[in-house]
Amino acid sequence: MSDDAVSRYRQVYRRSLDEPESFWLEAADGIDWVSRPTRALDDSNPPFYRWYPDGELNVCFNALDRHVAAGRGGQPALHYDSPVTGIRRTYSYDELLARVARFAGALSSLGVEKGDTVVVYLPMVPEAVITMLACARLGAVHSVVFGGFAPAELAARIDDAKPKVVVSASCGVEPTRVVEYKPMLDAALGRSAHKPESVIVLQREQCPAAVGERDTDWEEMTWDEVDADAEPADCVTVAATDPLYVLYTSGTTGRPKGVVRDSGGYAVALAWSMGNLYDVHPGETMFTASDVGWVVGHSYIVYGPLLAGAATVLYEGKPVGTPDAGAYWRVVDDYGVVALFTAPTAFRAIKKEDSAAELVGRYDLSSLRALFLAGERLDPDTYQWATDALGVPVIDHWWQTETGWPIAINPKGIGLMPLKPGSPTVAAPGFDVRVLDDRGDELQAGQEGAICVRLPLPPGTLPTLWNDDERYVSGYLSTYPGHYLTGDGGHVDDDGYLFVMGRTDDVLNVAGHRLSTGSLEAALAGHPAVAECAVIGVADDLKGQVPRALVVLKAGVDAATDGELIRAELVARVREEVGPVAALRRVDVVSALPKTRSGKILRRTMRELADGGSPTVPATIEDAGVLDALAPVLRDGGGAVSPG
């Protein structure tokens, strides 16, 4: 930690913004190209920017084949560690390449070609990584859907992505139960308008599924049936600007946004970030404890470590209870992990179980050089606890599904800058971060505003939304022309450190999982007794935020007699319609919701009240009495539900 690091960072950062062309062409050397790009940025069609317009490559080749060709075939690529099933298995680069090439051949035999989409609904098993890379090998576009989402959410993604093939499993294994995926997939395909041509199901011994026994419009087969005798497929060359994947994320409405990731820009940005930001190098091991269904999993379980020639850990378990709060330390010890990456909520769970960090002492953590945390705000208590427990730098960093890699971080590979609790440190090279006021004017240090990034965004970030340029522009680029709107608010201090305080919109963040208020509200509104509802995210000690629902019942429904039952049904509906990750536990039946005169529900004001604040009530409020009546209910943070 030194002034040296600060000046090194400043130099790199300035160059990335002042000379983006040479900076990103130089970074492109970290990747093997079929046609090396002669240009970095295509800015001929603002606000749409494309990186490496004349480059051609294959991302799977860069993640696997080139390391084998360079003599790293025997080196570990993937450590699958599954405390929930008791299985552990390490795949060398040779082995992973063979499995990926074969499964790419299997997909190809089902007609999957460059540009086709494949939806992946799999738990944390090696086949998830194999499917993603097999798609990349064929130039097909994968869209991974998180296993904790319910059929309706899966169906919405299938309808938008229109996959030729869906790859799933018979079940996922959670610590306390086996989750049957196949019935959820069947239900999703029953609801979706789009039907795939084929469905591949990985049979797991914990709960094999009936496959191909029903009469369906699509062909169903098991993974083994299609994979066993498949001919290995070669890499298909794609344009750098061709899509590698679509990953759906939550906005404020119930309709998920299909974030598009291109091939060349993403490969360059991730390879660059591995050394320069995470300080992880070829042959070393990174352990990202997340899920392949989230962006963190895409970038730093799968693509980042493999593009860098490092090894990655695919961990099918939890931070606690599988079997105890020492699970992460055991993994670090077993695989010589140099960088651990997870969400603060995981550390809060560990701290709750083992507050004195006694389990840390049972393991050899000498390989560990840093802990990276992201996905939600890192609260100072958790920061301090992790620092004391592990004795390595605890690096908070801020990013989003849309950006694919960190917008703000302490760039350890360039040099570790002084840490400030509560801040993800500084803007990552390539990201021109500005804090703006309502009119779009830049704010001074210390002043709170909307955190934006001046266009163009660097390589690796979203070029658009899947088949929806218009929504991309209206959702992200039109509020402040020339800027990308992150949706987070915060400020920069006198040293240029960024402080991210939370979403300025109604997006929920539950245990580091991003969820849409709109989806939860749609599930509640579907109940026949509900006239109106609102969902807000309120502060929670473990999960950072949990959803809380306020519902107004239809005239004639008797809250006194039926309220309890309705509340239970509403909790169940959200679980069934959105998924268990939504974790809605509390529903209050109220007589009215506070709104502006134009009918907008004042969710933010209610959230601030629920979190114990004293919000400024908007002058446009329709009836201040409604909010006054609700205030005691909102401020009551206990588990009890209020009477209607």
Provide the binding-site residues for ligand COA, judged by CB under 6 A.
Answer: 123, 147-148, 172, 174, 179, 290-291, 294, 296, 318-320, 342-343, 345-346, 349, 375, 511-513, 580-581, 583
If we measure between CA atoms, which residue out of 160, 67, 70, 128 comes closest to residue 301? Answer: 128
Name which of 288 and 464 has its Cβ closer to ligand COA. Answer: 288
Q: What is the closest distance, in whole angstroms, from the C-beta atom of residue 481 to ligand COA in the complex?
A: 32
CA R_g for the chain: 24
φ/ψ of 160, rounded to 5, equals: -80, -40
DSSP-assigned letters across all residues of 235-291 = PPPEETTSEEEEEEE--SSSS-EEEEEESHHHHHHHHHHHHHTS---TT-EEEE-S-
* Contact pick of 313, 327, 374, 634 for ligand AMP (by CB under 6 A): 374
Cα dihedral across residues 509, 515, 516, 521: positive or negative: negative
Phi-psi region of 578 (alpha: psi -120 to 50; beta: other; left: phi over 0): alpha
Q: What is the closest distance, in whole angstroms, from the C-beta atom of residue 148 to ligand COA in the complex?
A: 3
The entry of ligand COA, ligand AMP, none near residue 603 (CB within 5 to 8 angstroms by kind) is none
- If one asks whether residue 170 binds ligand AMP (CB under 6 A), the answer comes out as no
Q: Residues 119, 161: contact at Cβ < 8 Å?
A: yes
- If one asks whether residue 164 binds ligand AMP (CB under 6 A), the answer comes out as no
Q: Provide the greatest CA pair distance for the chain.
A: 74
Q: What is the closest distance, in whole angstroms, from the C-beta atom of residue 502 to ligand COA in the complex?
A: 16
Name which of 60 and 349 has its Cβ closer to ligand AMP. Answer: 349
Question: Look-up: residue for tokens 């820009």?
Answer: 265
The tokens describing 159, both together, are: 């309808």
CA separation (Å) from 563 to 540, 570, 585? 25, 10, 15
Buried b (16+ CB within 10 A) or exposed e, 63-82: bbbbbbeeebbebbbbbbbb
The entry of ligand COA, ligand AMP, none near residue 112 (CB within 5 to 8 angstroms by kind) is none
* Contact pick of 53, 151, 196, 375 for ligand AMP (by CB under 6 A): 375
- If one asks whether residue 316 binds ligand AMP (CB under 6 A), the answer comes out as no
φ/ψ of 39, rounded to 5, equals: -130, 150
Name which of 148 and 518 has its Cβ closer to ligand COA. Answer: 148
Name which of 541 and 623 has its Cβ closer to ligand AMP. Answer: 541
Could you count the other beta carbons within 10 Å of the beta carbon of residue 561?
A: 8
Name which of 546 and 601 has its Cβ closer to ligand COA. Answer: 546
* Contact pick of 50, 137, 514, 603 for ligand AMP (by CB under 6 A): 514
Name which of 349 and 633 has its Cβ closer to ligand COA. Answer: 349
Binding mask 536-575 for ligand AMP (x = CB under 6 A): ----------------------------------------
Q: What is the closest distance, in whole angstroms, from the C-beta atom of residue 291 to ligand AMP in the complex?
A: 11
Which helix or strand (DSSP H or E) is residue 85 part of?
A: none
Q: Residues 326, 357: contact at Cβ < 8 Å?
A: no
Per the DSSP assignment, residues forming a β-bridge with 177 are 174
Q: What is the closest distance, in whole angstroms, from the C-beta atom of residue 371 to ligand AMP in the complex?
A: 13
Q: Residues 401, 382: contact at Cβ < 8 Å?
A: no
∠ CA(504), CA(506), CA(508), 5° rounding? 105
- Residue numbers 472-511 binding ligand AMP by CB under 6 A: 487-488, 500, 503, 509
The entry of ligand COA, ligand AMP, none near residue 396 (CB within 5 to 8 angstroms by kind) is ligand AMP
Q: What is the closest distance, in whole angstroms, from the C-beta atom of residue 567 to ligand COA in the complex?
A: 17
Binding mask 210-249 for ligand AMP (x = CB under 6 A): ---------------------------------------x
- If one asks whether residue 376 binds ligand AMP (CB under 6 A), the answer comes out as yes
Q: What is the closest distance, in whole angstroms, from the C-beta atom of residue 576 to ligand COA in the complex?
A: 12
Q: What is the closest distance, in whole angstroms, from the C-beta atom of residue 83 to ligand AMP in the complex?
A: 25
If we measure between CA atoms, which residue out of 161, 160, 159, 213 comes closest to residue 182? Answer: 213
> Do the bridges between strand 513-515 and strand 508-510 make them parallel or antiparallel, or are there none, so unpaired?
antiparallel
- If one asks whether residue 295 binds ligand AMP (CB under 6 A), the answer comes out as yes
Q: What is the closest distance, in whole angstroms, from the C-beta atom of residue 381 to ligand AMP in the complex?
A: 15
- Residue numbers 261-280 binding ligand AMP by CB under 6 A: none
**Number of residues counted as binding ligand AMP (CB under 6 A):** 20
- If one asks whether residue 72 binds ligand AMP (CB under 6 A), the answer comes out as no
Name which of 159 and 541 has its Cβ closer to ligand COA. Answer: 541
- If one asks whether residue 379 binds ligand AMP (CB under 6 A), the answer comes out as no
Name which of 103 and 499 has its Cβ closer to ligand AMP. Answer: 499
- If one asks whether residue 346 binds ligand AMP (CB under 6 A), the answer comes out as no
Could you say which DSSP state residue 120 is in?
A: E
Determine the 3-state secondary structure of 367 from DSSP.
coil
Name which of 78 and 346 has its Cβ closer to ligand COA. Answer: 346
Name which of 240 and 435 has its Cβ closer to ligand AMP. Answer: 435
Distance CA 294, CA 341 (A): 13
Name which of 412 and 595 has its Cβ closer to ligand AMP. Answer: 412
- If one asks whether residue 607 binds ligand AMP (CB under 6 A), the answer comes out as no
Q: What is the closest distance, in whole angstroms, from the C-beta atom of residue 224 to ligand AMP in the complex?
A: 34
Distance CA 457, CA 167 (A): 32
The entry of ligand AMP, ligand COA, none near residue 343 (CB within 5 to 8 angstroms by kind) is ligand COA
Name which of 283 and 580 has its Cβ closer to ligand COA. Answer: 580
DSSP-assigned letters across all residues of 403-444 = TSS-SEE--TTT-PPPP-TT---EEPTT-EEEEE-TTSPBPP
Q: Residues 184, 151: contact at Cβ < 8 Å?
A: yes
Query: Cα(first)–Cα(last) distance of the chain, in Å?
Result: 57
- Residue numbers 387-446 binding ligand AMP by CB under 6 A: 396-401, 424
Q: What is the closest distance, in whole angstroms, from the C-beta atom of residue 385 to ligand COA in the complex?
A: 15
Beta-carbon contacts of 592 under 8 Å, excluding residues fewer than 6 positions away, are 552, 623, 626, 629
The entry of ligand COA, ligand AMP, none near residue 174 (CB within 5 to 8 angstroms by kind) is ligand COA
Q: What is the closest distance, in whole angstroms, from the C-beta atom of residue 175 to ligand COA in the complex?
A: 7
The secondary structure of the chain in percent helix, strand, coil, rounded to multiples of 5, reads: 35, 25, 40
Distance CA 107, CA 88 (A): 26
Binding residues for ligand AMP (CB under 6 A): 249, 295, 374-378, 396-401, 424, 487-488, 500, 503, 509, 514
